[in-house]
Amino acid sequence: MDIELSQSRVHGRARAPPSKSYTHRAILAAGYSAGALVYDPLNSADTKATMRAVEAFGGDVDRDATEDRLDVTGFNGRPDVPADVVDCANSGTTMRLVTACAALADGITVLTGDSSLRSRPQGPLLDAIDDLGGRAESTRDNGQAPIAIRGPISGGSVSIPGDVSSQYISALLMAGAVTEEGIDVELETELKSAPYVDITLEVLEAFGVDAEQTDDGFSVSGGQSYEPTDGEYHVPGDFSSMSYLLAAGAVAAEEGKDVVVAGAYPSAQGDSAIVDVLERMGADVEWNRDDGYITVRKSDLSGVEVDVGDTPDLLPTIAVLGAVAEGDTRIVNCEHVRYKETDRVSAMAEELGALGAAVTEEADVLTIHGDESELEGAAVDGHGDHRIVMSLAVAALVADGTTTVAGGEHVDVSFPDFFDVLYDLGADVRRT
């Protein structure tokens, strides 16, 4: 589906969807339990993949739309061997979290996904499962899906690189709690995307599971049970998704009016750093943490340097802000952002260039030269990546003329009604 957007001014109140990261972990944590209610979940293509995985392992997930909750009957720490191949679709989070879960089953589990997911690295997690006494193989022997996992593992100690994906650590911690021995994870390299492990620790705590950071990495003791307080868990709002709405307000809010984003309560989400980035760039932004509101107004922005080592999902948003700002915006420590749904570093360089931005791409740095950029409407490609699509839509709000973004349907991964929300804020949006 193509999306046409014309230069627009926006204002009003919007609510970003619930956190995708928290929803994934909450669904799987509920699966590890005897049963739990998950309130305010994100209902998207990615989170549905995790729901299907829980059901494949012997659980059951019923969606109660009236109560906006999921009623999860769990497999109580003992996953069945799935009767069929588990399709993780486009969800890397699902595949990695589920890989460790599969290692608990007494048999072979096969996991696959779409072409994008089958190109993403899984090797370090497969090696870790082998080291823990299981067997994990890439069917093409390239460290990528499809993968086959044989369990059960009983726990132990393992070392793993921290600079490829924090999801490996999250997966091992979640599974380790229900092993006999627990799992100690030693990091071989600096941990990238560390706030996502913080999210995992926060969800584990909410489900009554003790895990901790150690001098060398992370540790979780075995023999634990997943039991959330009162049998329920509430998912917070998603700052990754909020970033597009906040950026839209900063670059395209109507004069004298503002954009208010609701549901912005503090949490372990690293992507709440978007508020700090906007402030550093000179945006008029206020965060009422107690009431969960962020207010932003159109502002004159200046380029800054941003390290996205812990916040890879913010790169597309920051790149768009840089194209509108004065001076250079340098996004550093971003090589790991190349291993997402697509190579987001190259994708943003290419598509912002098509819109008239001046961009310099290096292996680990993306520089946007705002003084040399003049955005004009053009046909751009979302690269089958929800975050690329949404960030380009924000750029279209300030580009002269009309911009056509290919692949608009991919927002279903994390923000299914994104274009409806943008339209309600006043954007000129058309589906073609």
373 marked among binding-site residues:
no
Backbone angles phi, psi at 401, to 5 degrees: 85, -150
Query: What span, in angstroms and rounded, lies between the C-alpha atoms of 288 and 264?
Result: 8
Question: To 5 degrees, how large is the angle CA 15–CA 20–CA 21?
Answer: 130
Residue 62, beta-bridge partner list = 71
96 marked among binding-site residues:
no
Is 371 exposed, middle or buried, given 0-12, 13-18 or 19+ CB atoms closer than 10 A?
A: exposed
Query: What span, in angstroms and rounded, lies between the C-alpha atoms of 49 and 77?
Result: 19
243 marked among binding-site residues:
no
340 marked among binding-site residues:
yes
Question: To 5 degrees, how large is the angle CA 188–CA 190–CA 194?
Answer: 120
280 marked among binding-site residues:
no
Q: What's the length of the chain?
A: 432
The tokens for 354 are 């098509």
141 marked among binding-site residues:
no
25 marked among binding-site residues:
yes
Q: Pick from 285, 287, 286, 288: which is nearest to 298 by CA?
A: 285
Question: To 5 degrees, how large is the angle CA 15–CA 20–CA 25?
Answer: 135
Residues sharing a CB contact under 8 Å with residue 256, sequence separation 6 or more, in sequence order: none
144 marked among binding-site residues:
no
Query: What span, in angstroms and rounded, lies between the C-alpha atoms of 91 and 426?
Result: 31
219 marked among binding-site residues:
no
9 marked among binding-site residues:
no
431 marked among binding-site residues:
no
The three-state secondary structure class of 177 is coil
Backbone angles phi, psi at 404, to 5 degrees: -110, 120
Based on its alpha-carbon atoms, the radius of gyration of the chain, rounded to whole angstroms, reads 21
Q: Alpha helices, DSSP H only, in 103-166?
A: 123-131
Question: To 5 degrees, how large is the angle CA 296–CA 301–CA 305?
Answer: 110
Peptide bond preceding 146: is omega within 30 degrees of 0, i.e. cis? Answer: yes
Asked if 326 and 301 touch (Cβ cutoff 8 Å), the reply is yes
344 marked among binding-site residues:
yes
114 marked among binding-site residues:
no
Query: What span, in angstroms and rounded, lies between the C-alpha atoms of 121 and 63?
Result: 32
| Residue owning tokens 């486009």 | 90
The tokens for 98 are 């589920």
Residues belonging to the active site: 313
Number of Cα atoms under 13 Å in the Cβ half of residue 431: 11
Number of Cα atoms under 13 Å in the Cβ half of residue 264: 28
Residues that constitute the known binding site? 20-21, 25, 92, 120, 165-167, 193, 313, 340, 344, 387
Q: Annotated binding residues for 3-phosphoshikimate, as ranges?
A: 20-21, 25, 165-167, 193, 313, 340
Q: Which residues are annotated as a binding site for phosphoenolpyruvate?
A: 20, 92, 120, 167, 344, 387
